[in-house]
Amino acid sequence: MKKQVGLLYSLPQILWLLVFFAAPLCIIIVYSFLKKGLYGGVEPQFSLEAYTALANPNILLVTWRTLKISIIATALTLLIALPCGYSIARSKNQAARLFLVIVPFWTNFLVRIYAWIAILGNEGFLNDILRALHLTTESVQFLYNQTAVILVLVYMYLPYAILPLFSTIDKFDFTLLDAARDLGASRFQSYVRVLLPNIKSGLMTAGLFTFVPIFGAYAVPLLIGGKDSYMLGNIIADQLTKTRNWPLASSISMTVTILTTGLVFLIAMRKPREQKQVFDADPAFLQAVPAGKR
């Protein structure tokens, strides 16, 4: 009886997942195995064409580039978010600082991208300053390249990395850093050898929260990027709206999904490395500890 009641309680959630997650995913899977329609859509006929088309060097290049951009942007985001999260956690004024992290969310995503165009554009704010300082007479081309895309992606996803890092560091016992310094570690060593291993879970979460959405980025490379920063998200949109090859758009989507979930699984399944094994395998150590006491 009780089990059925539990099922009943989870019904809204199950319905939600079915309608908004499972069903669309199924549609994409099915579409990816069908033949493309002449004017978009699909013909109800099995075909592996969409998957063989993935081997296209152009798609492989963009996949590689998407991976590269995502990894660089995620690494940079974590590198910036780590000191931010740390200083918020150690601050006496946590609420106010967290508020500042969240404030950008009040502005629409697209508006924030256009704000960057206003800053980085040829007639933009940054170029105005450079000209006013007589550092340049011509406009410097900041926009429409990979660097600009990475910059704006880092900006966009920084809060998603700061928040989980903050909440993990906030739970960290800072006397451990005192202890590390006391035992001879420099400030830097105390961070690397004591802080980082103890906030691993926060780093993982922050990494996933930034890597996964960046891997599927569409708007940022479209508006900020140029030819060299075309990402998988853009190919999917093009296949859907311009080339009207829905099966190919679906198979690329599947690639994105499989790559990102694969990564999540890898991280989740990763076994914590036990120091125990090192010593178990070490005969000298075993000798030192009498067998009866082990």
Partner 1 sequence: MKGADVDILGVSKFFGSFQALNNINLSISKGEFFSLLGPSGCGKTTVLRLIGGFEDPDSGSIAIEGKNVVGLPPDKRHCNTVFQSYALFPHLNVFENVAFPLRIRKVPQQLVREKVIHYLALVQLETHALKKPSQLSGGQRQRVAIARALINEPSILLLDEPLSALDAKLRQHMLMELDAIHDKVGITFVYVTHDQQEALSVSDRIAVMNMGEVLQIGTPRQIYENPATEFVARFIGETNVFNLKIISIDGTRIYGETEGLGPLSVEDETEANPGERVLATIRPEKIRISTDIPNTNGGHINILHGYVAEPIYSGFQTKYVVQLDTGMMVTVYRQHANWSEGIPDIEWKDEVYLSFSAADMVIVEMHKQ
Asked if 286 touches partner 1 (CB under 8 A), the answer is: no
Asked if 291 touches partner 1 (CB under 8 A), the answer is: no
Asked if 184 touches partner 1 (CB under 8 A), the answer is: yes
Asked if 284 touches partner 1 (CB under 8 A), the answer is: yes
Pick the closest to residue 145 from 61, 225, 233, 62 (CA basis).
225
Which of these segments, 18-26, 120-128, 175-183, 247-255, binds partner 1 (CB under 8 A)? Answer: 175-183
Asked if 43 touches partner 1 (CB under 8 A), the answer is: no
Which of these segments, 218-226, 233-241, 260-268, 286-294, binds partner 1 (CB under 8 A)? Answer: 286-294
Asked if 285 touches partner 1 (CB under 8 A), the answer is: yes
Asked if 273 touches partner 1 (CB under 8 A), the answer is: no
Cβ closest to partner 1, residue 70 vs residue 205: 205
Dihedral of the alpha carbons of 217, 222, 224, 225, in degrees to the nearest 10: 90
Q: Out of 242, 276, 281, 283, which residue is the one contacting partner 1 (CB under 8 A)?
A: 276
Q: Out of 165, 180, 203, 212, which residue is the one contacting partner 1 (CB under 8 A)?
A: 180
Asked if 189 touches partner 1 (CB under 8 A), the answer is: yes
Q: Out of 198, 219, 223, 260, which residue is the one contacting partner 1 (CB under 8 A)?
A: 198
Asked if 279 touches partner 1 (CB under 8 A), the answer is: yes
Query: SS3 letters for the chain?
Result: CHHHHHHHHCHHHHHHHHHHHHHHHHHHHHHHCEEECECECEEEEECCHHHHHHHCHHHHHHHHHHHHHHHHHHHHHHHHHHHHHHHHHHCCCHHHHHHHHHHHHHCCHHHHHHHHHHHHCCCCHHHHHHHHCCCCCCCCCCCCCHHHHHHHHHHHHHHHHHHHHHHHHHHCCCHHHHHHHHCCCCHHHHHHHHHHHHCHHHHHHHHHHHHHHHHCCCHHHHHHCCHHHCCHHHHHHHHHHCCCCHHHHHHHHHHHHHHHHHHHHHHHHCCCCCHHHHHHCCHHHHHHCCHHHC
Q: Out of 69, 151, 163, 194, which residue is the one contacting partner 1 (CB under 8 A)?
A: 194
Shortest separation between residue 89's beta carbon and partner 1, angstroms: 17
Asked if 90 touches partner 1 (CB under 8 A), the answer is: no
Cβ closest to partner 1, residue 228 vs residue 280: 280
Shortest separation between residue 181's beta carbon and partner 1, angstroms: 4
Q: Name the site residues for partner 1 (rule: CB under 8 A).
A: 173, 175-176, 178-187, 189, 193-194, 197-198, 275-276, 279-280, 284-285, 288-289, 293-294
